[in-house]
Each structure stands twice: as C-alpha cells, then as structure tokens.
Amino acid sequence: MKGRIEDYRDPRLTDELLRDIREAAGRISSRTVSLMEVCGTHTMAIARYGIRSLLPDNLKLLSGPGCPVCVTPAGYVDAAVLLSRDPGVTVVTFGDLMRVPGSDSSLTSAKASGADIRVAYSPSYAIELARQHPHRKIVFLAIGFETTAPSLAWSILQAKENGLENLSFLSACKLIPPALHALASSEEVKIDGLICPGHVSAIIGTSPYAEIVRRYRIPCAVSGFEPVDVLLSVLLLCRQIAGGEARVDIEYSRSVREEGNRKALSLLQQAFEPADSAWRGLGTIPVSGLKIRPAFSAHDAEAVFGVDVPLGKDNPACRCGDVLRGVISPPECPLFRTRCSPLTPVGACMVSSEGACAAFYKYYQLEQKKGSRPHGD
Amino acid sequence: MAIESDRILIAHGGGGTAMQELVREIFVPAFNNQFLEPLQDSAVIEELAEDRLAFTTDAYVVRPLFFPGGDIGRLAVSGTVNDLAMAGARPLYISLSVIIEEGFPVEQLRAIAHSISATAEEARVKVVTGDTKVVEKGAADGIFISTAGIGVIETDLEICSDRADDGDAVIVSGYLGDHGIAVMSKREGMDFTSEVRSDVAPLAGLVQEILDADIEIHVLRDPTRGGAAAALNEIAQSSEVGIRLHAAKIPVRPEVLSACDILGLDPLYVANEGKLIALCPLDHARKLLALMRKHPLGANAAIIGEVTSEWLGHVIMETEIGGTRIVEMPYGEQLPRIC
C-alpha cells in the first residue's frame, strides 16, 4: 500500500508500534537482543529520528557494513590519491569519500596540495566533463552497493558507446549478500535479527535473504527508511525472535519485489563481473565486489593506468570487524577515544558520522555531561 | 564618457583614466552620496553619536553570481548589514571592495552595482568608500566582493552569543535552508518542480522594530554558513547552556525538505541569508513572535525550542516521533562557497 510520506512519520503510529515492540521484546525474556541495521541509510534514519532513545533497554541496534564509504579500504583511497597526482588526470568522486583516510593521505589533503579533484552527485557529471575536456583524463571513483552500481554500469556502457576514450572508472563496487554471509558465518556472531536494506533489495530482490535464513536461522525484515518502516521492521523481528521463528518479512513491500529489478540487474551483468573485494574492517570477502568486464577495459582505470589497488595499511589494532560483528562494543577497542575519534577516524565505524563507533562516541560523551552544571553545584 | 569596452580589462584596475571611467560610470551613480562623492582614500563621515559602535567585515565569493532570489551584490550588502544588526546595531555605512577578473562583462558589473545600491537603500545604509582591483584572467573567478560596515548601538541591551539563559525561548524568523538550496540547485543544474528562491535580505529593519519594542533580547544570530545547527551550537557553547529543539516546530518549506532528501542534507545545516535566530525569556517570547510575524521578513517566525540546564554545551533535538538526537556542530562546510 502506498501512502503519503507524512503517514510514515506519524507519531500516533510510531507510538502504537513502540507499545507493541515493548510488549514483544518483553516476551524475549532472558537477554539483550541485538538487531543489525545493514544499511547506512537506515543508520541515518535511526539517528535522525532518535529511534535508539525510544527502544526498550534490552533491544540494541548495531550498525552493519552497509555504508559504502565506510567500508572502502585504505588501499583504494591510496590508489585514488596516486591517480590524482598525475597532472593530466581529473578525479571525480562522491563527496563523502573526500575525508576517508587512506594509509597516509586522503582526497581532501590531495586536493589541498593541488590535485584536480571534483565532487559530483552523479556519474553523469564525469561523462559531461569527459566530453568538455577531451585532453584530460577523467577518472570516476566508482564506489557503492547494488543501488549505486546500476547507474555506474550505465555510465560505463555510455563511455564505450560514445567513444569517450578519456573516461575511466576505478571500481570498488560491493555486494551486500556476501558480506552478510561473512558476518553471519562468523562463530562469534551476536546478531539476533537483520534489518535488511530496502533500496538494495529493490534491485536484488529478496531471495538472497532466504538463503541467510536457511543457513544461519537469523530472522530478516526488508525495511523502508521512514520511522514507521524501521519500527515496524523492529517489531516484526521481535515477534519472530519471541516466537523462535526465522523467516524473511518484507516490510517495504511498496518498493521491493521478490525478483528485484531485472533491468538494473541486466545493466550490472553487462558491465561488471563478480570478484573478491577488500572491505575496511572485514578484510577480503570472496566474490563480494564488482570488477569491470574485460570488454570495457578501455574504461577501467586499473587497466588504463596499470594501477594495482593495494591492500593498504589498516591499523592492526583497529577492531572495526569485531564491532561490526557485534562481538565487542566500541569502548572495548584499544583505539577508541585514544587514536580514533570522529575528527581523526582510523576505522570504518568511525569514518561516517553515523557509523557504530562515531554514534557511540557522541552518546558516550553526552551521557557524561547530561545534567552536569558548569560550576559543579 | 562611456566605458569603451564591454569587458573588464586589466587597465580598468590600473589607477588611470580607465579606472576613473569605471568608478565614475558604474559605482558613483549607483551609490551616490556626499561622503563617497569626493572619491578620496578615506570617507570622512559625520560624527557618530556617543553610542557604542559596531564594526564588521566580510567577503563574498558565491557561485553562481546570480541565483534565484538574489545575486552577489545583494548578498554582500545583506551579509554585512545583518552582522551589524545581530550586535543590536543600526547599520549606517559600508565600504565596498571588488576584485574583478579580467574579461568580466561590464553589463554584469552594472547589474551587481545596481543590486548593491537597491539593497543598501532597503537597509538604509550608505556605501561611502570603495576600492577596485582587476586581476589577470584565471586569478579570480569572475568577481569577489568584500564589504565592511559600521553601525551604532543605541540600545542598552547587551546582545551577545554568551547571554543565553536557562528557560529562554529560541525563535527563528522564518523558513530555514532557502538560500543554500537556491544556490545549490542553480549550481548543480538541478530542476526541482518548484523553484526555491534565496531568502537573502537585510534584516536591519526587523531588528530595529524588535529593539524598539522593549523586549529583553539575550541573543541574536543570523544562521548563515553551517546553518541553524552551527549558530545554535555556538550559542550553547559560549553560554554554557543546553538547547532543546522540537523538530515538528521548525519551519522548512516542503520543496526545501525534498531537495535536502535528494541531496542527503539536513536543512538545519543549510545556509540562510535573510533569517535570524533570537533568544529571549519565555515571558517575552509571545510578544516577540507576534511582532516578527507582522513584519514581511518574519511572517513565518516560530518558537522552535528552549534553553535548558541539561546537555550543557550541546543542542538536542526532540524528533517528530518523540525520540532524542544530538544536533552536532558541523565539521566543515556542508556546501562549499555558497556565501
């Protein structure tokens, strides 16, 4: 059923859902229940509406690996910085990648040192630049999940069709289901339910989650992004857990079809092939990335510039992987609040302002300050 | 005498005849007044009363130069006038420095000068001194403008960011985020169904009415770069208080909200150029709100929150669904070069 956007933000509905959630969570008696929101957009919505502050104490929300910027490894940033130092190259990137730390530098620092780095909202800007400046080599930093990848695939196809020889893409596109398998198959995993990404699911459909349920018996709910969506998904998961069930509930039925979006999937198929991929904090996950097919190697920056994307130096003490798996909470990481903070992030979970560690950092500080008075009375 | 070229030449900044022509033909007629007319190195202005003076300066590098609802000229005057007004001052005189890139169209310069003149008149300030430099092509991006301003503080009130007090009401003068979204959508070539216009305007008149109304104002701020979030965080920090906002009460146009959704922005962080935030004791807030709503620049004013003794140094938002979140100080600029 489609409704007006206001309906999905209606406080009367959310109050009702919260009451039902408390009731259902109360039936999961013995322990803390950890639900992971996989997608960065869910993390943002949860923060924006203050949803954590409304949930019962035994319900914890963990932020998963679904923020494409956060999981882009240092080595990829290193390769992009290296390319940007070529005076003939213009690097085009989504804005939020600018501050992500590489091994020694970031795109922000490279730009300040004179590199030609442009921020774009869409890869079509890179196509336009390539047309306007035939003598400059334009490199688009192609990062994203199944949601962003179809528009990147389309742009790669366009580059070839229009003979834009000066346009190439450095792909670090990633796939969500293999990352979920990697998290779920970990022996220490502490995830009781997955809030699955609505936008990604609109592309890939729901069968990948059925596989997660079958293999690991983790309840799944495919969720939209408004507060009513998120709370309804939390409720559906609580009810599954309380009843000892595990299945895929589709909360976001207004956008998600079981078979996904065939047209988008076909675009992906044409431009990309699956490949192993490195995730910041999680290491290399088999067939979790998208590599540009050899037929388009003229537009594959790795082939054009002979770049070998290095693994990069993730700080060995960083325990983002354990945080993402729900094994430890952020303060248990030795770098938390010492070397790693929102202004100088080390790991994936601190990079995005709403990553698990960044969120914890803020609330931790505030809990200390709440109610304190400036003169100590 | 007419300017012989329709493009700005390096010679127009050379201090010779070409520059005299440019100044006499474009700037003097636009800002015509007795203090500017002698065209000396300094304007000698009439003695300012025994009041306290407010003095400010600012630079403008906005792209594009002309955007829905305004242009760099209107922005330059409004920005400086508003900085003075936020100190409780009545703006009187402003200076104008322009750095022009060689090749800049004279027609556009004329349009900008006209806009500066119209906005100055609206704000009741005089442009009394100025400077023109022309730099080689590529050394500037079209035109940069720098303005300084002087105003007199006639009120006895101490209006300052560190004066917020427990229990104060937080009031905004209207819809948030219009300027940033107007500039962004024009710059990015985004075509939203209904055009968002910048709110750029001089607020001196509105502030004067507030000051004349015997309302105990503690803080006045114009939420420009960094938006309301940055302004409120600064107030919370310098006053060592907490500020609690109510999301459902914050006025944002639906089209600005949709644009923000598309661009992944939060309207609280988007720049405004014709809005103010006022803090005053709760028992004065109704009167202030009624007064603001009668003024064209405050028609959509709203009480959006209050000062608390909790969460010291922080801004907290009660969300539409009753949750709580922190409104952080922005790290850098959310949108580069919008003012």
Domains of chain B: 10-153 (3.30.1330.10), 161-327 (3.90.650.10)
Residues of chain A with C-beta less than 8 angstroms from the C-beta of B266: 48
Mean pLDDT of B75-95: 96
pTM of the predicted protein model: 0.84
pLDDT value at B243 more than 50: yes
Mean pLDDT of A62-86: 90
Mean pLDDT of B63-83: 96
Q: Which amino acid is at B232?
A: L
Provide the CATH number for the domain formed by A74-175+260-304 in this structure.
3.40.50.11740
CB distance A145 to A175 below 8 Å: yes
Domain extents in chain A: 5-66+176-250, 74-175+260-304, 320-369
Look at residue B217 in the predicted model and tell me its pLDDT. Answer: 97
Rounded Cα gap, residues A89 and A46, in angstroms: 39
Predicted confidence (pLDDT) per residue in A39-58, tens digit: 888 988 888 898 988 999 89
**Average predicted confidence (pLDDT) for chain A:** 89
The candidate with the shortest Cα–Cα distance to B201, out of B97, B275, B94, is B275
Check CB contact under 8 Å for B311 and A11: no
Check CB contact under 8 Å for B188 and A363: no
Rounded Cα gap, residues B297 and A359, in angstroms: 38
Q: Which amino acid is at B284?
A: H
pLDDT value at B338 more than 50: no
SS3 B313: coil
Check CB contact under 8 Å for A362 and B328: yes
Look at residue B47 in the predicted model and tell me its pLDDT. Answer: 60
The ipTM, to two decimals, is 0.78
Look at residue B231 in the predicted model and tell me its pLDDT. Answer: 95
Check CB contact under 8 Å for B317 and A50: yes
Can you name the CATH fold of A5-66+176-250? Answer: Rossmann fold (3.40.50)
Q: Count Cβ atoms below 10 Å from residue A243 Cβ, excluding itself.
A: 12
Rounded Cα gap, residues A112 and A98, in angstroms: 11
Nearest to B312 among A47, A51, A374 (CB): A374
Res. B18 pLDDT band, cuts 50 70 90: confident
CB distance A327 to A293 below 8 Å: no
pLDDT value at A375 more than 50: no
- Higher-pLDDT residue of B331 and B171 is B171
State the burial class of residue A6 (Cβ atoms within 10 Å of its Cβ: 0-12, 13-18, 19+): exposed
Rounded Cα gap, residues A286 and A276, in angstroms: 4
Look at residue A45 in the predicted model and tell me its pLDDT. Answer: 87
CB distance A376 to B314 below 8 Å: no
Query: Taking a contact as any Cβ pair under 8 Å apart, which residues of chain B between 247 and 266 contact chain A?
Result: 263, 266
Predicted confidence (pLDDT) per residue in A248-294, tens digit: 999 999 999 999 999 999 999 999 999 999 998 788 999 999 999 99
Residues of chain B with C-beta less than 8 angstroms from the C-beta of A48: 266, 319, 325
Nearest to B314 among A52, A343, A366 (CB): A366
Which residues of A sit within 8 Å Cβ distance of B? 9, 11, 14-15, 47-54, 121, 227, 342-343, 353, 362-363, 366, 369-374
Rounded Cα gap, residues B292 and A90, in angstroms: 49
Predicted confidence (pLDDT) per residue in A173-213, tens digit: 999 999 999 988 887 777 899 999 999 999 999 999 999 99
Rounded Cα gap, residues A140 and A57, in angstroms: 44
Range of weakest confidence among A299-313, B40-54, B208-222: B40-54
B162 touches chain A (CB under 8 A): no
Range of weakest confidence among A307-311, A337-341, B102-106, B214-218: A307-311
CB distance A348 to A320 below 8 Å: yes
Check CB contact under 8 Å for A49 and B328: no
B48 touches chain A (CB under 8 A): no
